[in-house]
Amino acid sequence: MDPLTFRCSCCGRVITGLPDLAYDAPLHYHQLPEPERPERANLSSDLCTIDEDHFVRGVCLLPVQGSDQSFGFGVWVSLSQENFRRYDETFEDEDQSKLGAMFGWLCNRIPTYPETVNLQTSVVPQDGRARPQIWIGEAHADHPLYIEQRTGITRERLGEIYASEVCDRRKNGDG
């Protein structure tokens, strides 16, 4: 498998390998005033509860056009209380795909796209303790994230995403 390369859209540097863009928590957690978090929220690397709301972390995969690789956004979705309970109870199981797909609301704002918070998704638990796959729902068939998830993402778009979130030259203001 050849290493994937693309160009950062802000500085033109050639980047090798896929950018890593994952969120440590759902947006709702960051919106919670920090002093209230210990009492109202419970956050781990994969599960989050805020008051009566429940969230899990998954991966929204986009195939990279012209390659055999996929780029993944590590994002959070909210689940119903019942589905969260089922997910939590089977979290250690190797065959968690047995749960089948569940409905979730996307709970992160992904850069370079129109609003992504509260997109309807299908959350598909995986076997082998992999994070669940998150598929944008058909209700959003005209949303670029829905389209790119199915038709693939170009290397140019990878460069835009990299520039917006990862590139240190832009962050330092010298890009």
To Zn ion, the closest distance from the beta carbon of 70 in angstroms equals: 22
To Zn ion, the closest distance from the beta carbon of 9 in angstroms equals: 7
To Zn ion, the closest distance from the beta carbon of 14 in angstroms equals: 11
Select 31 or 172, whichever has its Cβ closest to Zn ion: 172
By CB under 5 A, name the binding residues for Zn ion.
8, 10-11, 163, 167, 169, 175
Select 8 or 75, whichever has its Cβ closest to Zn ion: 8
Select 92 or 174, whichever has its Cβ closest to Zn ion: 174
To Zn ion, the closest distance from the beta carbon of 173 in angstroms equals: 12
Phi, psi of 173 (to 5 degrees): 80, 10
**The amino acid at 33:** P
Residues 6 or more apart from 128 whose CB is under 8 A from it? 94
> Residue 26 is encoded by which pair of tokens?
């759902």
Annotate 92-117 with three-state secondary structure.
Answer: CCCEHHHHCCEEEEECCCCCCCCCCC
Select 5 or 44, whichever has its Cβ closest to Zn ion: 5
Residues 6 or more apart from 120 whose CB is under 8 A from it? 103, 104, 105, 106, 136, 137, 139, 140
